[in-house]
Chain A
Amino acid sequence: MERYYQPEIERASQEQIRAWQDERLVNQVKNVWDHVPYYRKKMEEKGLTPADIKGVDDLHKLPFVTKADLREAYPYGLMARPVKDCVRIQSTSGTTGKRVVAFYTQHDIDLWEDCCARAIVAAGGTDEDVCQVSYGYGLFTGGPGLNGGSHKVGCLTIPTSSGNTERQIMFIQDLNATILCCTPSYAAYIGETMKEMGLTPDQIPLKAGIFGAEAWSEEMRRDIQNTLGIKAYDIYGLTELSGPGVAFECSAQSGMHINEDHFIAEIIDPDTGEVLPEGSQGELVFTAITKEAFPLLRYRTRDICVLSREKCPCGRTHVRMAKPRGRTDDMLIIRGVNVFPSQIETVLLNAGYPANYQMIVDRVRNTDTLDVQVEMTPEMFTDNMGEISRRQKELVDGLRAMLGLAAKVTLVAPKSIVRSEGKAVRVIDRRKI
């Protein structure tokens, strides 16, 4: 039977959700107008006052907030509460440029942890569970968010943070951890290590995993589920909006429910900024309607995905977002073709290779080159050169079919690609442009 952390919210009618959103948006716009001069100026430039925003229907009138705004307003420019009301900051990994610093009041932390608790309960978590949080703690939102959610659910929480994989496995085994929270690439690495230690899925106490903070494919999900003998759930979030828990997967494992009582989602055309009709693929834009300290309106996530209002068998009524194909930041343009690392992962896993790979992009005589480095595994190895070359060619063909682009495949020694304990480094771009 499906369980919910806040059933009255998670199963609320569409009308109820819309009523919350209308009311909270109006209040939030007033809040931002009164307390964030930076955003007030942006509104004034568009000739807007809070009176123009009467509900969600008027949302499209508001200006966007982009990563560039966050950079410009760094550090305090978008803060809507005085320091005395704020209790915490969190910060991004800074992988795509300057770090983002986000502020929280106690109320903000409370709501954020509620969102994470919804995700844990949706993954089957109860107060009987032992939940190991192997996301990094500290500035990164992964550890603190899931840690707080796990407390709210009443799980026995193991705050291992990331790293020291042997110790991670020792705690899982010794304390009978039933839920694992970390990045999917770290989950795959923990699984790989456990397999090498001779542990079979039935010897691993874990039953569920909540994995997020990077894009991952269905094939990778299958792989992790098989190795660890668990159900693997996706979770989505951004530091800019709070952290993990903006959206989460339920038992249907078919899209992530966006916590619409806290966030209004829109899909826009990334080139024109136009709002696209429901069901279109485009860039995801969020408006935080309940946050106090760092309330972003129409924040452009650069994540490309699709929203669905189709009824979910789990009983939750909140809109679902498909797994993002990847952040537009992660997208590479190689010889004019858009390439997402997750596409490469799909080809590799379908061909029986592990998800340990690296993409080396370079420019040779004014032409972009893509070299996908893949680790050889005992399963894929044979003493027959022709057979290995044939499998290598299959990968090249698979990549061409997926990307529409000729890529080289280089087979490398096992463990030669550095394992990640947080977000994996998939791309090395050596182009000097």
Chain B
Amino acid sequence: MNIKQISIFLENKPGALYAMTGVLARNEVDLRALSVAETSDFGIARLIVDDTDRASAVLREAGYVHNITPVLGVAIPDVPGGLNKVLQVLTDAQVNVEYMYAFLGGKDVEHAYMIFRVADNGKAAAALAERDIKTVDQEEMDNL
């Protein structure tokens, strides 16, 4: 039920993000979700892609420091209060959300998909399942 996320170390300077997306573009890696966190001198780009292993290989080749971490993909009913309900469940289960970001548009118009980085994926997924909130696995995500 986990999705693989690639996190990449970038310097916070003009062209750094562009150089990295250029590596992915030249190797025809498709981005499914992206978020960037930054400080004044460095940033971390977090990506969900169609082919994690290939993306990792081409990034390594290009000299990028990066790692792969499991994250949760959550299908949130696209109605007012949808995200709030998910956070309520996680709060009740005392799961801390380290960060989260939205998935780039899929074919499913009923749901908004979001990526959650939490301390305990298993605990979060179980709590969500109990309240009928769907998490997506890598394969489902690839088909979105």
Contact = CB atoms under 8 A, between A and B. Distances in A.
Interface of A: 376-378, 381-386, 388-389, 410-416
A386 B65 CA distance: 17
A413 B65 contact: yes
Contacts of B9: 376, 381, 411, 413-414
B42 A411 contact: yes
B10 A413 contact: yes
20 contacts: A377-B65, A378-B66, A378-B67, A381-B7, A382-B7, A382-B67, A383-B5, A383-B7, A383-B44, A383-B46, A385-B44, A386-B98, A389-B39, A410-B42, A411-B9, A411-B41, A413-B16, A413-B65, A414-B9, A414-B65
A113 B37 CA distance: 57
Contacts, number: 50
A412 B63 CA distance: 12
B5 A381 contact: no
If over half of B's interface residues share one DSSP class (helix, strand or loop), that class is named, otherwise mixed; here it is strand
A334 B127 CA distance: 55
Contacts of A377: 65
B11 interface: yes
Contact of B65 (A378, A385, A410): A378
If over half of A's interface residues share one DSSP class (helix, strand or loop), that class is named, otherwise mixed; here it is loop
Given A412-B11, A413-B9, A385 B39 contact: yes
- List 6 tightest A-B contacts by C-beta distance, closest first: A383-B7, A376-B9, A410-B41, A381-B65, A376-B65, A411-B42
Contacts of A381: 7, 9, 65-67
Interface string B56-68: 0000000111110
Contacts of B69: 383
Contacts of A384: 98
A372 to B, nearest CB: 12
Contacts of A412: 11, 42
B117 interface: yes
A378 B46 CA distance: 15
A377 B67 CA distance: 11
B9 to A, nearest CB: 5
A92 B16 CA distance: 39
Given A389-B39, A411-B41, 15 more contacts: A376-B9, A376-B42, A377-B65, A378-B66, A381-B9, A381-B65, A385-B39, A410-B41, A413-B11, A413-B16, A413-B63, A414-B9, A414-B63, A415-B63, A416-B11
Contacts of B65: 376-378, 381, 413-414
Nearest to B98: A384
Nearest to B19: A413
A386 B99 CA distance: 11
Contacts of B98: 384, 386
Contacts of A413: 9-11, 16, 63-65
A192 to B, nearest CB: 12
Nearest to B37: A385
A386 B97 CA distance: 13
A381 B46 CA distance: 13
B2 to A, nearest CB: 14
Contacts of B117: 383
B125 to A, nearest CB: 19
A57 B9 CA distance: 61
Interface string B113-132: 00001000000000000000
Interface in B70-117: 98-99, 117
B136 to A, nearest CB: 19
Nearest to A386: B98
A178 to B, nearest CB: 31
Contacts of A378: 65-67
Contacts of B44: 383, 385, 388
Scoring B5, B37, B117 by chain A CB atoms within 10 A of each residue's CB, the highest score goes to B37
A386 B96 CA distance: 14
A383 B48 CA distance: 13
Contacts of A389: 39
A97 B94 CA distance: 64
A376 B42 CA distance: 10
Contacts of A411: 9, 41-42
Scoring B41, B63, B67 by chain A CB atoms within 10 A of each residue's CB, the highest score goes to B41
A45 B116 CA distance: 81
Nearest to A408: B41
A377 B66 CA distance: 9
B10 to A, nearest CB: 7
A381 to B, nearest CB: 5
Nearest to A410: B41
Nearest to B45: A383
Interface in B1-47: 5, 7, 9-11, 16, 37, 39, 41-42, 44, 46
A386 B39 CA distance: 10
A381 B60 CA distance: 14
A386 B119 CA distance: 13
Nearest to B40: A410
B15 to A, nearest CB: 12
B105 to A, nearest CB: 24
